[in-house]
Structure formats: structure tokens, C-alpha cells
């Protein structure tokens, strides 16, 4: 049996320790150890923090070369390694790390629809609340456009911040419009006007009697992203993928007509376009073969500015939202967002990196040195640095796109099983475009599959 004297001595010793700790904090000496215990600290020259990040290979290497050195000017004791992974393998590898008892990565850069699936594992930090003690006063959460910030919101929690914004946009070859005797499109162009002009954009531009230019190239083959074209038409006309109860609502009259329109575009595309997707559509536009292309805006720089990758120049290329439907112009959201592993031992350093990268300063560096698309309203309202004047019309298109995306819910299904729903939609769209099904039957079947998935 423990004696009362022994208990009293233990209590006295414990009280003395607590009083000493309080004195350290009162003199400002206890704050650094407390942070280090909670979040791992920001490192020292003798003991730097090593951060590991998993990101898409499409931009991970560029971030390592351009963004990390700039970050290290402010945080020299945080050593950052970005591991690039091909997009097709990225989610599977992220899920493996997220569900590991001892994860390798401190930061996972997630694609737009993946947050629910990863968050449901319990792997992600509540990034807004659990990093509040390390957030700088001028970070300004309210400066983000709502649409990109919402990409990592799930069940009322903010799990990440936008690192690379993207959206579906309409690329315009102004030269081909002028050769066809048509006015260059503006964001007010409607789908009715677009389809009326399309036959005139299938033309012989050099007078040899052979058609060498077409109206459109975009996603036509079966691909998980092909439904985003149909969906942008659908949303622009007021359609919603899911109803208020979370059940499929896309197989209505609006959805059917939108899919029929998507299939009709194939009439005005280059031969063989039924097998075209992202890469083929991009090549057609860059080679000056099509007057318009519906593709992801992030390829603008390499389609209009860089002579090593395109035959076109900024003066020839316009960028805007997709044509206007009954409600608004169309688009679709694609945001790469940084999230922090809940089990990371380097939470403070991880947030220092994500906070700087997505700050006004970091976003500006990303824009002006890599052509990255911003998420902040202040960046989009500012004038790009000299030499980057090509970004001025891009910023205009992006801000308009963000506004439409938010108003029209223009994003892929938000659900832990979103990939399965997207596969069902991909099958439906491919069946209609290839002539194997009519739009109503295809969407009804996709709705049945989606309903089973979303239960």
C-alpha cells in the first residue's frame, strides 16, 4: 500500500515541475519546445526537417526545380523532396500511404474529386483548424475564390489548399475564324450560335480543294475525363449531377440533350476524332488544324506561347469559357490541392510549405515562373509581371470560369466512390458518341449504376 507521505512527495514534485514549465513559458522560453512537440518545428541548421511530398509527375518536377528553392529562401531548414508519380498511378499510391500505420509522406497533393475518398480513411489533417497556431496573420483565407477552395472541403472540414488551379476552357484559333469570315468568339457565344457557325469552320484554307481545317477537337473517346465536356453543356443549361438527396439527376431531358450535343460535335471534327482525347485534341489545336478545342486551361502556355510546343502565337489564340447555355457559360473544375497527413511528424513544416505555396507571394511566384493558374482573387485582379502579358486574358477567363463553376456546381461527383460514378458516365458518353446507344438509354443505365454506387 502506498504511504500518504510518498503520495505527497510525488504531488509536490509534480507541482514543482509544472511551476517551472509555467515560468519558462512566461519568459518566452517554453513556446518553441511546445510547438516542436505538437508539430515537429521548422528545423535548425544542425537538425533540418525533411518533408516528403507526393504529387503528379505532370508538375511535381517543375515544383521541385522552381518552387522549392524560392521557399527555402524563407525556410532554409526545411528540406523538401517532391516525388513525382504518373497520374494514372497517383490515387492508388496515395491511398496506400494514407492507410499505412507509418506513412512515408507528409503532404499528399490530391486531384479534385479525391478528397472524400482519402478523408474517409482518417488520414488527413483538418488543415484550417489544426494549423491555426502556425498560420500567419496575412494568409487571408477569404481571398481564395470559393470554387477552388471547396475542392478539399468534405463534411464541413477544410482538408487542403489549392496549389494548381485548372478548369475546362474553350481555346480559339482566331485566324481560322477570320478565314471562314466569322466573328471571333466572345464569352457571350451561345451553343446555338456555335453550332450554326461550325459547318463554315470546316474549310479548305489553302485553296487546293482539300479540307484541312475543322471546327472542333476535344474529348470523344472513352476516358474518365470525357464526361466533363458533356457535363459542362449540361450544367450551363441548369442541370445538376445529383439532386438534394444525393441521388443521380443527370438522366433528365437536360442531360439527354447535352449528350446529344456532345456527340453532334464529332460531325465537325477531324477524321478519326472518335478516338481522340486530351493529347490528340491538344495536338490538333497546336498544329492549327481546328478552330476551337475544349480542353484544360493549364495547357494554354504550351499551346499559345511556347514556340517549342506550338505553331501558334498569343495573338492568334483566344481563351474563354465554353459556350453559353440556357443559364450561363460552361466549364468544369480541376484543382490540385495540398493536404497534410494526420500522422505526419512534421505538421508545422508541412503547413509552412503549403501556406507559403498557396499564399499571395507563393502564388505570384508560381504564376510568373511556371505559368501556374492562381486560385486567389487578388492574383487574378493583378497585372502579371513584364514578360507575362499573355496571362492578362487568361486571368479574365479564369475568374469568369470560377464564378460559373461555383454558381453551376461544375465539378465531378463529390463522394468517396466518385471514381466509380465517373466510370459509369464515361461508358455512357462513349456509347452515344460511338453510335452504340441513344443518349436516354445510356444515361439511364449510368444513373442506375451510380445509384448503386452512392448508396
- For 68-99, the pLDDT digits (tens) are 999 999 999 999 999 999 999 999 999 999 99
Q: Give the model's pLDDT for residue 13.
A: 43
Cα(223)–Cα(430) distance, rounded to whole angstroms?
8
Q: Give the model's pLDDT for residue 39.
A: 83
- What SS3 state is found at 363? helix
Q: Is residue 19 pLDDT above 60, yes or no?
A: no
* Residue 427 contacts residue 222 (beta carbons within 8 Å): yes
Cα(361)–Cα(198) distance, rounded to whole angstroms?
43
Q: What is the dotted CATH code of the domain comprising 41-166+335-392?
A: 3.40.190.10
Domain 168-332+413-453 is in which class? alpha beta
CA 28 to mean position of chain CA atoms: 41
- For 159-191, the pLDDT digits (tens) are 999 999 999 999 999 999 999 999 999 999 999
Q: Give the model's pLDDT for residue 97.
A: 97
Ranges of each domain in the chain: 41-166+335-392, 168-332+413-453
Q: Binning pLDDT at 50, 70 and 90, where does residue 335 land?
A: very high
Mean local confidence (pLDDT), 112-138: 96
Containing 78, the helix (H) or strand (E) segment is strand 78-85
Q: Is the dihedral of CA 97, 101, 105, 108 positive or negative?
A: positive
Percent of the chain as helix, strand, coil, to the nearest 5: 50, 15, 35
Q: Give the model's pLDDT for residue 36.
A: 41
Partner residues linked to 171 by β-bridges = 293, 319
CA 141 to each of CA 136, 209, 411: distance values in angstroms, whole numbers, following the listed order: 11, 58, 21
Q: Is residue 23 pLDDT above 70, yes or no?
A: no
- For 36-59, the pLDDT digits (tens) are 446 889 999 999 999 999 999 999
Mean local confidence (pLDDT), 326-348: 97
pTM: 0.88
* Residue 331 contacts residue 401 (beta carbons within 8 Å): yes
Between helix 347-357 and helix 360-370 the angle, nearest 10°, is 60
- For 344-384, the pLDDT digits (tens) are 999 999 999 999 999 999 999 999 999 899 999 999 999 99
Cα(187)–Cα(151) distance, rounded to whole angstroms?
25
- What SS3 state is found at 438? coil
* Residue 116 contacts residue 414 (beta carbons within 8 Å): yes
* Residue 125 contacts residue 340 (beta carbons within 8 Å): yes
Cα(258)–Cα(235) distance, rounded to whole angstroms?
9
Mean local confidence (pLDDT), 255-278: 98
For residue 316, give the DSSP letter: T
Domains 41-166+335-392 and 168-332+413-453 are alike in CATH topology: yes
Amino acid at each position: 500500500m502506498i504511504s500518504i507521505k510518498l503520495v505527497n512527495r510525488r504531488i509536490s514534485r509534480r507541482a514543482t515541475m509544472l511551476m517551472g514549465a509555467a515560468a519558462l513559458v512566461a519568459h518566452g522560453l517554453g513556446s518553441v519546445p511546445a510547438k516542436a512537440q505538437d508539430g515537429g518545428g521548422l528545423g535548425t541548421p544542425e537538425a533540418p526537417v525533411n518533408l516528403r511530398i507526393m504529387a503528379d509527375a505532370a508538375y511535381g518536377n517543375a515544383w521541385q526545380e522552381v518552387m522549392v528553392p524560392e521557399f527555402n529562401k524563407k525556410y532554409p531548414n526545411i528540406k523538401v523532396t517532391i516525388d513525382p508519380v504518373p497520374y494514372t498511378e497517383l490515387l492508388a499510391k496515395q491511398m496506400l500511404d494514407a492507410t499505412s500505420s507509418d506513412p512515408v509522406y507528409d503532404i499528399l497533393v490530391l486531384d479534385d474529386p479525391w478528397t472524400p475518398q482519402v478523408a474517409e480513411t482518417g488520414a488527413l489533417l483538418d488543415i484550417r483548424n489544426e494549423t491555426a497556431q502556425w498560420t500567419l496573420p496575412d494568409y487571408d483565407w477569404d481571398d481564395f475564390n470559393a470554387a477552388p477552395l471547396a475542392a478539399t472541403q468534405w463534411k464541413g472540414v477544410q482538408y487542403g489548399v489549392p496549389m494548381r488551379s485548372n478548369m475546362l476552357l474553350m481555346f480559339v484559333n482566331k485566324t481560322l475564324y477570320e478565314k471562314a469570315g466569322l466573328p471571333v468568339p466572345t464569352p457571350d457565344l451561345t451553343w446555338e450560335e456555335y453550332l450554326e457557325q461550325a459547318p463554315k469552320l470546316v474549310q479548305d484554307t489553302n485553296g487546293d480543294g482539300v479540307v484541312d481545317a475543322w471546327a472542333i477537337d476535344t474529348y470523344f473517346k472513352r476516358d474518365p475525363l470525357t464526361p466533363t465536356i458533356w457535363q459542362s453543356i449540361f450544367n450551363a443549361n441548369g442541370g445538376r449531377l445529383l439532386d438534394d438527396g444525393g441521388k443521380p439527376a443527370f438522366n433528365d431531358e437536360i442531360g439527354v440533350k447535352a449528350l446529344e450535343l456532345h456527340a453532334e460535335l464529332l460531325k465537325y471534327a477531324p477524321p478519326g476524332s472518335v478516338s481522340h482525347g486530351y493529347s490528340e485534341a491538344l495536338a490538333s489545336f497546336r498544329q492549327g488544324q481546328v478552330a476551337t478545342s475544349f480542353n484544360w486551361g493549364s495547357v494554354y502556355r504550351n499551346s499559345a506561347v511556347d514556340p517549342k510546343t506550338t505553331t501558334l502565337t498569343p495573338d492568334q489564340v483566344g481563351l474563354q469559357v465554353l459556350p453559353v447555355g440556357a443559364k450561363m457559360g460552361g466549364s468544369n473544375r480541376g484543382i490540385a490541392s495540398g493536404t497534410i497527413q494526420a500522422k505526419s511528424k512534421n505538421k508545422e513544416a508541412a503547413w509552412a510549405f503549403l501556406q507559403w505555396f498557396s499564399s499571395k507571394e507563393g502564388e505570384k511566384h508560381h504564376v510568373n515562373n511556371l505559368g501556374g493558374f492562381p486560385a486567389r482573387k487578388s492574383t487574378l485582379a493583378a497585372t502579371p509581371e513584364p514578360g507575362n502579358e499573355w496571362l492578362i486574358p487568361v486571368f479574365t477567363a479564369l475568374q469568369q470560369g470560377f464564378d460559373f463553376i461555383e454558381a453551376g456546381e461544375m465539378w465531378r461527383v463529390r463522394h468517396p466512390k466518385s471514381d466509380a460514378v465517373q466510370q459509369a458516365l464515361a461508358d455512357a458518353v462513349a456509347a452515344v458518341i460511338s453510335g452504340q446507344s441513344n443518349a436516354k438509354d445510356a444515361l439511364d443505365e449510368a444513373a442506375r449504376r451510380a445509384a448503386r454506387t452512392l448508396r
